[in-house]
């Protein structure tokens, strides 16, 4: 009789994150959004934004409408390694082109991927082809060889796909309620000219004090 193969324990989310090379979890926002985030000490979900008496005066949502994922407005939308460049482009060039705002990206510690209630989506959460999951299996699904996305189009991993990028560039991490700034590691801007602007905001918002600010255009998608 052949001996049974030894049981190999399933990988944990931190193990998977290290294996995939995930070093940052990202969220893009406007300068007005950064003021609200710094004032409240957290990135809030759409539901949390509308419920906050202070934020209602400076509220400027990244997405004009959330009808496509109305059941998920209690979650903060995040990305792995690089933000959703398609969505950021629409936000900048269509929805907020007349709002005289500029954009930055907040980089959080990947430890948050292990927190309770986190969901992983293989593509944009509004697309019919999206697959949502939790735990290690949910995270692994974002790095599958083939992932259906918008209109059923397949995103495929190749030898040239960076190891730390999800297969579909619009994959998401959905974090419940709010992401606290104790997990914030860096703030990125697309051009050097914005570094001083962020420093000026941080000087008036203690929760942003001491956070490194860098020009890193590649994370903007």
Angle ∠(218,185,103) on CA atoms, nearest 5: 45
Residue 166 pLDDT more than 70?
yes
Average pLDDT over residues 1-11: 54
**Distance between CA atoms of residues 150 and 43, nearest Å:** 27
Identify the DSSP state of 63: S
Residues 6+ apart with CB under 8 A from 112: 25, 118, 175, 179, 183
What's the mean pLDDT when you consider all of the chain?
86
Name the more confident of 152 and 162.
162
Query: Is residue 69 a contact partner of residue 126, using CB atoms and an 8 Å limit?
Result: yes
Q: Which residues share a beta bridge with 104?
A: 29
Cite the beta strand spans of the chain per DSSP E: 25-30, 42-44, 75-80, 103-108, 119-121, 132-133, 146-148, 154-156, 172-176, 178-180, 184-189, 213-215
pLDDT band at 63 (very low <50, low <70, confident <90, very high): low
Q: State the pTM of this model.
A: 0.86
Q: Locate 24 and state its tokens.
A: 């940052």
Give the side-chain half-sphere CA count within 13 A for 28. 28
Name the more confident of 220 and 110.
110
What confidence score (pLDDT) does residue 90 get? 67
Residue 73 pLDDT more than 60?
yes
Collapse the DSSP code of 25 into the 3-class scheme (helix H, G, I; strand E, B; otherwise coil) and give the result. strand
Average pLDDT over residues 37-43: 93
Query: Is residue 174 a contact partner of residue 76, using CB atoms and an 8 Å limit?
Result: yes
Name the more confident of 162 and 97.
162
Residue 182 pLDDT more than 80?
yes
78-122: pLDDT as tens digits: 999 999 877 776 655 444 444 568 899 999 999 999 999 999 999
Angle ∠(212,19,142) on CA atoms, nearest 5: 90
Average pLDDT over residues 124-140: 96
What confidence score (pLDDT) does residue 96 get? 43
pLDDT band at 188 (very low <50, low <70, confident <90, very high): very high
Average pLDDT over residues 131-137: 97
Give the side-chain half-sphere CA count within 13 A for 126. 10
């Amino acid at each position: 009789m052949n001996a049974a193969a030894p049981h190999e324990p399933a990988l944990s989310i931190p193990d998977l994150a290290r294996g995939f090379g995930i070093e940052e979890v990202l969220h893009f926002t406007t300068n007005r959004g950064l003021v609200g985030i710094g004032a409240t000490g957290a990135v809030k979900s759409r539901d949390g934004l509308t419920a906050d008496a202070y934020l209602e005066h400076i509220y400027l949502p990244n997405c004009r409408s959330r009808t496509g994922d109305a059941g998920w407005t209690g979650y903060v939308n995040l990305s792995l390694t690089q933000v959703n460049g398609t969505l950021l482009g629409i936000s900048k060039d269509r929805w907020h082109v007349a709002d005289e705002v500029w954009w930055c990206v907040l980089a959080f510690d990947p430890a948050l991927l292990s927190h309770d209630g986190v969901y992983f989506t293989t593509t944009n959460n509004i697309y019919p082809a999206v697959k949502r999951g939790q735990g290690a299996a949910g995270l692994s699904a974002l790095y599958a060889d083939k992932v259906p996305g918008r209109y059923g189009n397949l995103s495929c991993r190749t030898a040239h796909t960076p190891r730390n990028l999800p297969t579909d560039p619009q994959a998401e991490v959905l974090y419940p309620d709010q992401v606290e700034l104790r997990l914030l590691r860096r703030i990125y801007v697309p051009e050097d000219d914005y570094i001083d602007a962020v420093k000026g905001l941080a000087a008036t918002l203690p929760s942003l004090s001491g956070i490194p600010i860098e020009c890193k255009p590649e994370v903007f998608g």
